[in-house]
Amino acid sequence: MKLYYAPGACSLADHIALHEAGLSFDRVKVDLKAKRGEDGSDYSKINPKGYVPALKFDDGQVLTENIAILAWVARNGVGTAPAGELGPFRVLEMLAFISTEIHKSFKPFFDPSSDQTAKDKAGQAINKRLQFLADGLQGDYLFGPELSVADCYLFVMLLWSGKMGLAIPAPLEAFRERMTKRPAVLLALQHEGLA
Ligand SMILES: N[C@@H](CCC(=O)N[C@@H](CS)C(=O)NCC(=O)O)C(=O)O
């Protein structure tokens, strides 16, 4: 299978999770402006939505959207969901929160037409939501001592927060440090030229 990614983009979460799962995969860097893969592929044909990530399976099927790809990786080997019937849905709940409430709030930081007021407002919303996660940390990771795919996504949001100069609650600073020491995280950062 092939992961289509852009360095440091949200696709880094999927990249880390695939390494954490010990799955074998190829990487294709995408030029998001030109919509071209580094292998010469026309990315608009791989993912007509035009954004990363996309995971192309060997049979030609393509899965897009961080939530779906991370849920697929969770099913194929990363960490443990919380116990009980609701466990897998708790992971989905967390992925949805990170995607829709945190990831999307970064929009003004990536939109050249956004003014400082929009950025300040977004920064406050992000900080509030990060604080909610910091208050709920259950040990080293979001769901306890074991990493889950949601931790991979949260890690990328913290990298972005640092890059944008946003305040990160202390427990999540420590979480980011812990994540950075994981071999799978280091590997993904190296592969994306970010280490
Ligand atoms: N809903 C998508 C959003 C993915 C997304 O925001 N991708 C960004 C990088 S983090 C992107 O490729 N942006 C370039 C573009 O939209 O042209 C998901 O969660 O997978």
Beta strands in the chain (DSSP E): 2-5, 26-31, 36-37, 54-56, 62-64
Say what the pLDDT of residue 83 is.
Answer: 82
Apex CA 58: angle with CA 55 and CA 59, to 5°?
Answer: 105
Q: 165-178 burial string, b = 16+ CB within 10 Å, else e?
A: ebebbeebeebbee
47 lines ligand 1 (CB under 6 A): no
166 lines ligand 1 (CB under 6 A): no
**CA-CA distance, 38 to 24, in Å (whole number)?**
19
Ligand 1 centroid distance, CA of 65 (Å): 8
Say what the pLDDT of residue 102 is.
Answer: 98
The residue behind tokens 């409430």 is 101
Say what the pLDDT of residue 93 is.
Answer: 97
52 lines ligand 1 (CB under 6 A): yes
Write down the mean pLDDT value for the chain: 96
Q: Given a cut of 80, is residue 24 above it in pLDDT?
A: yes
66 lines ligand 1 (CB under 6 A): yes
Tell me what the mean pLDDT of segment 89-96 comes to: 96
* pLDDT tens digits, one per residue of 104-124: 999 999 999 999 999 999 999
Proportion of the chain above pLDDT 70, given as a percent: 99
Hey, which of 36, 43, 52, 156 would you mutate to test ligand 1's pocket, going by the most ligand atoms within 8 Å of its Cβ? 52
What does DSSP say about strands 2-5 and 26-31: parallel, antiparallel, or unpaired?
parallel
Q: Given a cut of 80, is residue 81 above it in pLDDT?
A: no
172 lines ligand 1 (CB under 6 A): no
Say what the pLDDT of residue 117 is.
Answer: 97
Ligand 1 centroid distance, CA of 175 (Å): 24
CB atoms within 10 A of CB 61: 9
Tell me what the mean pLDDT of segment 91-105 comes to: 98
Tell me what the mean pLDDT of segment 125-135 comes to: 98
Q: In what order do the strands lie in the sheet with 2-5?
A: 36-37, 26-31, 2-5, 54-56, 62-64
Q: Report which of residues 66 and 139 the model is more confident about.
A: 66
The residue contributing the CA closest to ligand 1 atom 17 is: 51
Say what the pLDDT of residue 77 is.
Answer: 80
SS3 category, 28 = strand
* pLDDT tens digits, one per residue of 42-79: 999 999 999 999 999 999 999 999 999 999 999 988 77
Question: Which conformational region is residue 13 in: left (phi greater than 0), alpha (psi within -120 to 50 degrees), or beta?
Answer: alpha
Considering the entire predicted model, what is its pTM?
0.97
Contact partners, residue 139, CB within 8 Å, separation at least 6? 145
